[in-house]
Amino acid sequence: MIYAFLNQKGGVGKTTLSVHTAAELTRLGRRVLLIDADPQGSALAWANCRENPAFTVVGMPKATIHKQIPLLAGDYDDIVIDGPPRIAELARSILLASDLVVVPLQPSPLDIWAAAETVDLVREAQVYEPDLKCCLAINRRIVKTAIGRDVRDALKELDVLVLEHDISQRVAFAETLANGSTVGRDDDRKGAKEIERFVEELRRMT
């Protein structure tokens, strides 16, 4: 299964969700490859801080990624792609390679507009890849506020599935990117549970 995390806007949490999705799939016994397709290289930087690598991370910010992934896919059960912002040619190549596109967004108007642009790219790709699936993921939701509910209402006009399980804004998620780790049960049990439910929901879509 090839999961791609894409949004035309930066700073929505693509890398955080990519890394944690790869880690959770690995915990479930899957052989996972994480591809950093963002020229900024955030996932690679995270990987360089790891002490005990549990899965492989490679950089591939190339517009030919859809041609190269089939050469790698046989060695892995799942591939997770951390996509770039604002590089339409590369994003289109990622879309052609993917089975499921996850569009992370924060609960803000700017993120909703950017998500709409990404959904448009997905629909273009579905002309050539009709089995390509897409969903929206609300990230960095502030706990105990009505923002999550309000953003769901606003997203209805995009006519795309919004994942039931949001990811909350937690210091632990930010800290993991700096030290090459992921949120575990010992660090933040609630955060770890959110990731478990999030990945479980993604797997149900496949």
In this model, does residue 105 exceed pLDDT 70?
A: yes
Residue 202 neighbours by CB under 8 Å, 6+ apart: 3, 21, 100, 102, 135, 163
Question: 3-state class of 198 per DSSP?
Answer: helix
At 40-58, the pLDDT tens digits run 999 999 999 988 889 999 9
Residue (of 2, 15, 7) closest to 174 by Cα position: 15
Q: What is the mean pLDDT of the chain?
A: 89
Tell me, what's the pLDDT at 88?
A: 82
Its CATH architecture, for the domain 2-204, is 3-Layer(aba) Sandwich (3.40)
Measure CA of the first residue to CA of the last residue in the chain; give whole Å.
8
Q: Mean pLDDT across the stretch 163-170?
A: 88
pLDDT band at 164 (very low <50, low <70, confident <90, very high): very high
CA distance 59 to 76: 16
Decide if 170 contacts 191 (C-beta within 8 A): yes
Tell me, what's the pLDDT at 189?
A: 79
Q: Mean pLDDT across the stretch 123-139?
A: 94
pLDDT band at 154 (very low <50, low <70, confident <90, very high): confident
Tell me, what's the pLDDT at 172?
A: 85
At 176-206, the pLDDT tens digits run 888 888 887 556 678 899 999 999 999 999 8
Tell me, what's the pLDDT at 146?
A: 58
CA distance 125 to 195: 28
Tell me, what's the pLDDT at 144?
A: 59
Q: Mean pLDDT across the stretch 84-100?
A: 91
CA distance 128 to 97: 11
What percentage of the chain exceeds 90 in pLDDT? 60
Decide if 166 contacts 201 (C-beta within 8 A): no
Tell me, what's the pLDDT at 11?
A: 82
